[in-house]
Structure 1
Amino acid sequence: MASGFDKLKVEFIDQDESVQVVAETIRSSGEIPDRYIRPEMEADSVIIDTDDYNLPVIDMSRLINPEFSEEEIAKLGSACEDWGFFQLVNHGVDGELLRQIKDDITEFFRLPLQEKMSVAIPPNGLQGFGHHFVFSKEQKLDWVDLLFLSTRPVEDRSTDFWPTKPPTFRDSLDKYSLEIANVSAKLFMFMAINLGVDEEALLAAFKPEQPQSVRINHYPRCSQADKVLGLSPHTDGVGMTLLLQVNDAQGLQIRKDGRWFAVKNLPGALVVNVGDVLEILTNGKYKSIEHRAVINPDRDRITLAAFQSVPLSCTVGPLQELLMKGEARYKTVDGVEFTKGYFAAKLEGRRYLESLKLGSVNVSG
């Protein structure tokens, strides 16, 4: 069955060039194609591993333990308000499943390009292997190959884009998607407690079942890593993102206090961030923060981002319970309009989210 994404009719320019192939070529030639060179990278200063910039760590086992739950929920709320990001430990996702999904993803990206192209993103499509947010032949490109799939609800999957190699890929992704849906549902429940709203009031925005998609990213290594960028600065146009490091190469950076902060992923943790939808639902209490991916000069980096969002049939606006405590700060928009607007904003920082604040100028094109 076709997924809800097919209703969007997003217009992208076809980009059939694999960054992995480009990376292999420049290792001999030494010349990066101009379309990938990002001058802004040389001017950026990055904060790394200081006491003042430690990403909050939330422990799921403490959230569900009545003895520690109140304290941990307060920490969760503080992380969502002050950082928009946190690392989730003791999340409960089966360790053997994590090993299998990591092995399957790694093996997929090792396949010859011709085999990966068997699940290529079609013209103006969203699902499959390839690139997103390519709107013109002149724009700068991100240094990444991706596999984007709709994973939940199950009946909305477009399985033609689900790789059959390795043979365990589909089964492990199916199981992982369910585990992540359960983890996110728990987090939404504890967030509702922190916000002082009815649990169902928050969860209702994501029902009948939380739509979920995954973006599996392969960032090839580049000896001139300071000249390219894996993923442009952006916010996520969803409710919540849960990021799994497939290998231990680092590269995630978030914007904090006007500067870039390099996140060092804890082994086994999921990195969770607030998306645009959740910032709007909470009327700005929780923050959707700009982040980007940089490239490692010595190692490929692979990640699996699971996006928990709202149905296209819903409306996106502040929760009514929170409006009893103050005026709405964001417009309420139709779910399809919201998603189209997010893509139309071309992955440019907080541009689209800011346009939805009351009194702002609308974004187009």
Structure 2
Amino acid sequence: MTIQNITAQLPFVDISRFHGSADERKAFIEELKTILHDHGFFYLTGHGVDPKLITDVVATAKRFFALPLDEKLKIEMVKSPHFRGYNRAGYERTRGQQDWREQLDVNTEGEPVEIGPDTPAWKRLFGPNQWPEAIPELKPLLLAYQAEVTRIGIEVLQAIAVALGQPEDVFAEIYEPQPSQLLKIIRYPGREVAETDQGVGAHKDGGFVTVLLQDTVPGLRVQTEDGVWLQAPPVPGTFVINTGELLELATNGFVRADVHDVVAPPAGTERFSVAFFLGSRYDATIPVIELPENLKRKERGVSVDPLNPIFREVGQNHLKSRLRSHPDVARAHHADLLTPEDRNAVPSAY
């Protein structure tokens, strides 16, 4: 049930046209090229994900969030040096301010790396996920969904590559054999719980592309280059796709990582979403792609934010983001990466 009737203000992209006839594919690529430069945000259709998988993920996520708090806290993120697990509302921060959402973070299942004095700090990100004992079916379900949205993300990335005048697999050398696969199931409580209207503060995503599943309650907003906020309400059967900082770096700003936020829902309501962030391998360095001359003329350069520097070294970039977003985990497990002042405050980059 939607709580208000809001018209979608973002374009729609049918990814099945990428695999259509030569004429259809050509028209699709031209449209996508314009969208990438103007927005970087769009609704994706024709993705081929089983509707039952989507329904099951949302329903099971709601069951997880309905668990007693003590059950959820058994897998609280602060217990994981790899930034995996459950966060209470107000425990993640954007630009130092509390985000009023509770969530479960899952990334690529793995084994922890033995950390020595010469080990790159970003290798601390590798490790296992934490899963709730009370809902054992959540693990296979979310891993199946993670595999599907990884497929979608890579397909979209291939289409983006062609729209940029590149071979389909131009980005493969920096995400194969294993991209970063951060997945979040998220619940935004209503304003009777949230202390501000910041569901998530204004920010850019750090990966290649984000694949966002929205349930039924709106709240997502996208800021255009000239500062106008566009509404991006849920549209059944679609995902919202947005481009991240890695593509901005790789294209010298032809593709933008657009600023976006989520407004906390009104009192008496709650909002659910599932966000997937497809990123590069942690040991990769993002190159600058040589774009065709007609696109190169439209490069805007990489945006500079003194509060959120962007690094071409992927692992460093991702670790920086996690340290800033989760100060409790940073202090508990990574105090050696923080300044003395930051150990008693919100962590800085290093």
Answer whether TM exceeds 0.5 for this pair.
Answer: yes
Over the aligned positions, Cα root-mean-square deviation in angstroms equals 3.1
Q: Which one is further off, 68-77 or 338-347? A: 338-347
Q: 1:194 to 1:343 in 2, by over 3 A?
A: same
Q: Which residue of 2 aligns with 1:255?
A: 223
CA distance in 2, matches of 1:199, 1:103: 35
Residue identity in the other structure for 2:46: N
Q: Which residue of 1 aligns with 2:239?
A: 270
Residue identity in the other structure for 1:141: Q
Q: Which residue of 2 aligns with 1:97?
A: 53
Of 316, 319, 334, the residue aligned with 1:337 is 316
Where do 1:35-74 residues align within 5 Å? 49=7, 54-66=9-21, 67-74=23-30
- Please report how far the alpha carbon of residue 196 of structure 1 lies from its aligned counterpart in structure 2 after TM superposition: 0.6
Q: Which residue of 1 aligns with 2:281?
A: 311
Q: 1:346 to 1:147 in 2, by over 3 A?
A: closer
CA distance in 1, matches of 2:248, 2:41: 12
Query: Where does the alignment leave 5 or more consecutive residues of structure 1 unmatched?
Result: 1-47, 348-362
- Please report how far the alpha carbon of residue 65 of structure 1 lies from its aligned counterpart in structure 2 after TM superposition: 1.2
Matched, 1:178 2:135: no
Q: Given that residues 316 and 335 in structure 1 are in contact (C-alpha distance below 8 angstroms), is that contact kept between their aligned partners in structure 2?
A: yes
> How many residue pairs get matched?
297
CA distance in 1, matches of 2:256, 2:129: 36
Residue identity in the other structure for 1:312: Y
Q: Given that residues 174 and 280 in structure 2 are in contact (C-alpha distance below 8 angstroms), is that contact kept between their aligned partners in structure 1?
A: yes
Q: Which residue of 1 aligns with 2:329?
A: none
Residue identity in the other structure for 2:146: S
Q: Given that residues 152 and 210 in structure 1 are in contact (C-alpha distance below 8 angstroms), is that contact kept between their aligned partners in structure 2?
A: no
- Please report how far the alpha carbon of residue 252 of structure 1 lies from its aligned counterpart in structure 2 after TM superposition: 0.3
CA distance in 2, matches of 1:215, 1:268: 19
3-state SS of paired residue (1:122): helix
- Please report how far the alpha carbon of residue 83 of structure 1 lies from its aligned counterpart in structure 2 after TM superposition: 0.7
CA distance in 2, matches of 1:135, 1:255: 16
Q: Given that residues 143 and 219 in structure 1 are in contact (C-alpha distance below 8 angstroms), is that contact kept between their aligned partners in structure 2?
A: yes
Q: 1:292 to 1:176 in 2, by over 3 A?
A: same
TM-score normalised to structure 2 length: 0.75
CA distance in 2, matches of 1:102, 1:226: 25
Q: Given that residues 317 and 332 in structure 1 are in contact (C-alpha distance below 8 angstroms), is that contact kept between their aligned partners in structure 2?
A: no
Q: Which residue of 2 aligns with 1:128?
A: 85
Q: 1:274 to 1:189 in 2, by over 3 A?
A: same
Q: Which one is further off, 153-162 or 314-323? A: 153-162
TM-score normalised to structure 1 length: 0.73
Q: Given that residues 254 and 289 in structure 1 are in contact (C-alpha distance below 8 angstroms), is that contact kept between their aligned partners in structure 2?
A: yes
- Please report how far the alpha carbon of residue 255 of structure 1 lies from its aligned counterpart in structure 2 after TM superposition: 0.9
3-state SS of paired residue (1:119): coil
Q: 1:62 to 1:320 in 2, by over 3 A?
A: closer
Residue identity in the other structure for 1:106: K
Residue identity in the other structure for 1:252: L
Query: Where does the alignment leave 5 or more consecutive residues of structure 2 unmatched?
Result: 1-5, 113-124, 303-309, 327-347
3-state SS of paired residue (1:316): coil
CA distance in 2, matches of 1:253, 1:321: 30
Q: 1:59 to 1:109 in 2, by over 3 A?
A: same
3-state SS of paired residue (2:233): coil
CA distance in 2, matches of 1:344, 1:309: 17
3-state SS of paired residue (1:91): coil
3-state SS of paired residue (2:77): coil
Q: Given that residues 102 and 188 in structure 2 are in contact (C-alpha distance below 8 angstroms), is that contact kept between their aligned partners in structure 1?
A: yes
Cα deviation code 1:159-201 (max 9, x no counterpart): 4512243232111111111111111111111111110112222
Identity of aligned residues (%): 26
Q: 1:153 to 1:320 in 2, by over 3 A?
A: farther
Q: Given that residues 60 and 88 in structure 1 are in contact (C-alpha distance below 8 angstroms), is that contact kept between their aligned partners in structure 2?
A: yes
Q: 1:227 to 1:195 in 2, by over 3 A?
A: same
3-state SS of paired residue (2:13): strand
Where do 1:132-211 residues align within 5 Å? 133-134=92-93, 140-151=97-108, 158-211=127-180
Q: Given that residues 149 and 215 in structure 1 are in contact (C-alpha distance below 8 angstroms), is that contact kept between their aligned partners in structure 2?
A: yes
- Please report how far the alpha carbon of residue 340 of structure 1 lies from its aligned counterpart in structure 2 after TM superposition: 3.6
Q: 1:311 to 1:328 in 2, by over 3 A?
A: farther
- Please report how far the alpha carbon of residue 308 of structure 1 lies from its aligned counterpart in structure 2 after TM superposition: 0.2
Q: Which residue of 1 aligns with 2:44?
A: 88
Q: Given that residues 252 and 291 in structure 1 are in contact (C-alpha distance below 8 angstroms), is that contact kept between their aligned partners in structure 2?
A: yes
Matched, 1:116 2:72: yes
3-state SS of paired residue (2:242): strand
Cα deviation code 1:252-283 (max 9, x no counterpart): 01112313222122111000000001111122
3-state SS of paired residue (2:222): strand
